[in-house]
Amino acid sequence: MSSRDPRTLQTEATLEGEQTLIPGVCPITVCDRLVLRMGTPLRPRAAQKPLDIGLFDGAARNQFDLF
């Protein structure tokens, strides 16, 4: 009966604790995470104000009393 030696398994320290890595699977590195983040579109840091002026004012278009 042959069993794998648990000392040969690689482990990785995470915020949740020590985790065992699957043999043949590389852990995700900081560089991998940065490349993934760089490929995603930018998001605003603050909530955007609605553009309610002129051509983009949806409420102004509903003024049917002018016709």
Closest CA to 11 of 20, 3, 2: 20
> What's the whole-model pTM score?
0.41
- Residue 34 inside a domain? The answer is yes
- Residue 29 inside a domain? The answer is yes
Rounded distance between C-alpha atoms, residue 55 and residue 52, angstroms? 8
Q: Is the pLDDT of residue 51 over 80?
A: no
Q: Is the pLDDT of residue 38 over 60?
A: yes
Instruction: Considering only CA atoms, give the Rg of the chain.
Output: 27
Sign of CA dihedral 63, 65, 66, 67: positive
- Rounded mean pLDDT of 21-44? 89
- Residue 65 inside a domain? The answer is no
Which domain covers residue 19, as residue numbers? 13-38
Q: How many domains does the chain have?
A: 1
Q: For residue 31, what are its two tokens?
A: 């560089």
- Residue 24 inside a domain? The answer is yes
Q: Is the pLDDT of residue 26 over 90?
A: no
